[in-house]
Structure 1
Amino acid sequence: MTITSSTATTTGRTLRWRVVDIVVASVVAVACAVIFIAWIALSTGPGEALKPLLPGLQGVLNGPWLIAGPLAGLIVRKPGAALYAEFVAAALELLVFPYYGAVVLLSGLVQGLGAEIVFAILLYRSFGPVAALLAGAGAGIGECLVDLPLYYAGSTPAFAVVYAVSTVVSGAVVGLVCSPLVRAIAATGVLDRFASGRAARRAV
């Protein structure tokens, strides 16, 4: 997790992980794991209802499983935060309620990587609503890369397109929701040691 001092910028911004970064990213992962587990039960009924309407549309319900990466990335703002939080949240889900089995570890890894790639492309400098939306969409793309070949192998091209589009849109929406969520968390003062907390105070 440690990035060398060469990543520090002339403005004093550093991408080196601190203990508090690990702690907060872990707390985000735990909170999101609770969401994941709850969503397994809550999404079953709506998912079954959506299937007859348009095959593949159930992907619109995937968003809550994509929240950990964008949320941690927006808060911690360090390389690896999105990947770490999404993977740890998936691991905790598997440990507590192994409904989907060990494949959730692969899902968490790829979803987190999807969000992480977006923050990396933005050089870990942009964390506004657009970045949040794109990070969520990136996590959605990651989910599609796992779900379609593992859960929906042999599905029709139409199903794959609908599922992929609805999943990515769902991820984008959840990513966008993370932006005001970070501001709300920052308003409590718990993010005072983070750039995200300071940026939220300046925006008020």
Structure 2
Amino acid sequence: MEEQPEGPMSHTRRGRRPGQNTTRQAVLDAARRRFAADGFKATTIRAIAADAGVDAALVMQFFRSKDELFGAVMSISPEALSRIASAYRGPAESVGERVARAHLAVWESDQPDADALRAMLRGAIANEKANTLLREFIEARLSEGARQSASDSHDTEVRVALAASMLVGIVVGRQIVQVAVLAKEETEAIVRHIGPALQTLLAPRP
């Protein structure tokens, strides 16, 4: 078998893996490097599979989506991802408050998911690649639920970017910088304030 040259993508060889756990770990290692190199948006399951030396279908057996694979790499549980996704189920006229509540619940809990997300955020503040990775991941979550503009996709992108910036900024103020008045405020009070703004951004009236 041909040896791969030394470098950031030289971590695998094609062929049968000795066991399921080893194969799963190889996929996680490949995904971690690929996400770091290309960002969330540009990374594909096919590219990760190629790096790990396995079929894309096998990757999907371990992880049902790119979101879930990213969550596993970053130690974010499928339950946390599902909680955010579930915010978009329900009446359109209250999606802003549901999204605000779901994001804050995941980011500010005492569970390992929150620790992983806050670690990502601290890294994003200091590192451009980490910044891009986190931004694209959050925007992808919001894009899935945002009401698409019928004739202006750029408008949708701007609204999603603003919503993502708002949510990240609030977490930075409460958890990282710890602005006193924000850090002490009850979560539901924050939700009441930002819910209407997120509502306008994610589900604008025609």
Using the size of structure 2 for normalisation, the TM-score is: 0.36
Using the size of structure 1 for normalisation, the TM-score is: 0.36
Return the index of the structure with the highest Cα Rg: 2
